[in-house]
């Protein structure tokens, strides 16, 4: 069988040789597995693409997709899905925090009939801030959007060719590929593992990218933000009606003192903030709808390396027509 490893990279020239060595060591006894290493250069500014191209001249397994700029890891994973040729494909980070040996266990689960095999973090040697963000994000997604999302989070994934074709056919932007795989509902299993600390280089998974992932995930897979707007609007309307009734009753009983400006300004500012929050939530949905209707591609490819050219077979002219 053929397994495609999809590896997004962003300024990872230092890690690439070590990653390939670790992958080779993990699959040394898998004689019946043919590997395809699909690297997606997500706008690197160092020598990542040059290193991959050089390695590709010596190793026919290596294929490289180079983006014109940084489009994000989920766009990179989509690009890998669209061009990989394996019977199954696995996502693997280039920082070696996820051990490639886990892929053997996941591959065996796939052979047993699972269409999707997830590697879930049972333990992780990451900073507390990363652990906290991951736990909060996964818990909220599990409760409000995708019930199959494990609270320990997802990093490794191995999927069948049918799942690949299903995700590619969706062609969604501003979304989570992992979320689409979970949403698709194919038979899946979870395999726990220990996520190690990063040994080389610096993580490019910034707070801004994490925040975008949160917004994209909830807008793509949950109606809760819109429902929250409805609940807030209804609740504040009831509070306003109750307060108005309270003021009217006091006035009828002659118990209505002169009201100060402090409470009025406080209530006005609070309600204005809530209204802007509601407007922002609705705008997030509208923006993504507008972005989809423009039909811009989720990424742009600047250069390909190592992929065999596709031969277009044209129909021959019938001499008797």
Fold (CATH) for 2-222+297-305: Spore Coat Polysaccharide Biosynthesis Protein SpsA; Chain A (3.90.550)
Per-residue pLDDT at 194: 74
110 DSSP 8-state letter = H
Q: Which residues contact 227 (CB under 8 A, 6 or more apart)?
A: none
Per-residue pLDDT at 232: 80
At which residue do the structure tokens 């807030």 appear?
A: 232
Give pTM, 2 decimals: 0.74
Q: Give the H/E segment covering residue 250.
A: helix 224-252
77 DSSP 8-state letter = H
Question: Beta partners for 89?
Answer: 4, 159
Per-residue pLDDT at 203: 63
Query: pLDDT tens, position by position, for the chain (321 residues)?
Result: 899 999 999 888 888 988 999 999 999 888 889 999 999 999 898 899 999 999 988 899 999 999 999 888 888 999 999 999 999 999 988 888 888 888 999 999 999 999 999 888 776 656 667 667 777 777 777 787 777 777 766 778 899 999 999 999 887 777 788 888 988 889 999 888 777 666 655 666 666 777 777 777 777 777 788 778 888 888 877 877 787 777 777 777 777 665 666 667 777 777 777 888 888 888 888 877 887 778 888 899 999 988 763 333 333 333 343
Whole-angstrom distance, CA of residue 269 vs CA of residue 190: 47
Nearest to 79 by CA among 294, 308, 300: 300
Q: Give the H/E segment covering residue 155.
A: strand 154-160
For the chain, give every domain's residue range.
2-222+297-305, 224-293
Two structure tokens written together for 274:
């809530």
Structure-derived torsion over alpha carbons of residues 4, 16, 125, 104, reported in degrees to the nearest 10: 30
| Antiparallel, parallel or unpaired: β 116-124 and 188-195 | parallel
Q: Give the H/E segment covering residue 131.
A: helix 128-144
Per-residue pLDDT at 297: 87
Burial class, 241, CB count within 10 angstroms (exposed 0-12 / middle 13-18 / buried 19+): exposed
Whole-angstrom distance, CA of residue 247 vs CA of residue 231: 24
Per-residue pLDDT at 288: 78
∠ CA 312-318-319 to the nearest 5 degrees? Answer: 130
Nearest to 298 by CA among 64, 49, 44, 82: 82
Three-state SS for 86?
A: coil
Contact present, 284 and 219 (Cβ < 8 Å): yes
Contact present, 43 and 67 (Cβ < 8 Å): yes
Per-residue pLDDT at 116: 93
Per-residue pLDDT at 211: 77
Whole-angstrom distance, CA of residue 21 vs CA of residue 32: 19
Per-residue pLDDT at 287: 79
Whole-angstrom distance, CA of residue 226 vs CA of residue 314: 50
Two structure tokens written together for 21:
């060595």
| Other CB atoms within 10 Å distance of the CB of residue 56 | 18
Per-residue pLDDT at 62: 93
Two structure tokens written together for 38:
């699909």
Alpha helices, DSSP H, located in 16-83: 16-26, 48-58, 73-83
Q: Which residues contact 191 (CB under 8 A, 6 or more apart)?
A: 102, 105, 106, 109, 117, 118, 119, 120, 156
Two structure tokens written together for 213:
């992932």
Two structure tokens written together for 144:
């409000």
């Amino acid at each position: 069988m053929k397994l495609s490893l999809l590896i997004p990279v962003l300024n990872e020239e230092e890690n690439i040789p070590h990653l390939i060595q670790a992958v080779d060591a993990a699959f040394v006894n898998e004689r019946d597995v043919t590997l395809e290493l699909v690297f997606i250069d997500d706008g690197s500014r160092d020598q990542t693409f040059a290193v991959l191209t050089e390695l590709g001249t010596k190793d026919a397994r290596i294929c490289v997709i180079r983006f014109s700029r940084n489009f994000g890891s989920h766009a990179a994973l989509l690009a890998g899905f669209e061009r990989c040729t394996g019977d199954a494909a696995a996502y693997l980070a280039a920082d070696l925090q996820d051990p490639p040996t886990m892929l053997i266990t996941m591959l065996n689960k796939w052979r047993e009939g699972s269409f999707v095999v997830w590697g879930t973090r049972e333990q992780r040697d990451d900073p507390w801030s990363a652990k906290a963000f991951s736990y909060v994000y996964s818990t909220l997604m599990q409760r409000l959007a995708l019930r199959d999302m494990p609270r320990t989070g997802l990093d490794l994934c191995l999927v069948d060719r049918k799942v690949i074709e299903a995700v590619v056919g969706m062609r969604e932007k501003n979304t989570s590929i992992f979320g689409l795989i979970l949403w698709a509902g194919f038979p899946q299993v979870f395999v726990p593992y220990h996520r190690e600390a990063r040994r080389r280089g610096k993580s490019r998974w910034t707070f801004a990218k994490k925040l975008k992932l949160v917004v994209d995930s909830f807008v793509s897979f949950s109606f809760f933000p819109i429902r929250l707007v409805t609940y807030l609007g209804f609740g504040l309307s009831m509070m306003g009606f109750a307060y108005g009734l309270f003021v009217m009753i006091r006035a009828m009983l002659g118990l209505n003192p002169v009201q100060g400006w402090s409470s009025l300004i406080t209530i006005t500012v609070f309600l204005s903030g809530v209204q802007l929050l509601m407007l922002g939530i609705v705008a997030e949905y509208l923006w993504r709808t507008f972005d989809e209707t423009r039909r811009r591609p989720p990424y742009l490819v600047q250069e390909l390396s190592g992929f065999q050219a596709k031969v277009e077979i044209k129909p021959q002219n019938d001499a008797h027509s």
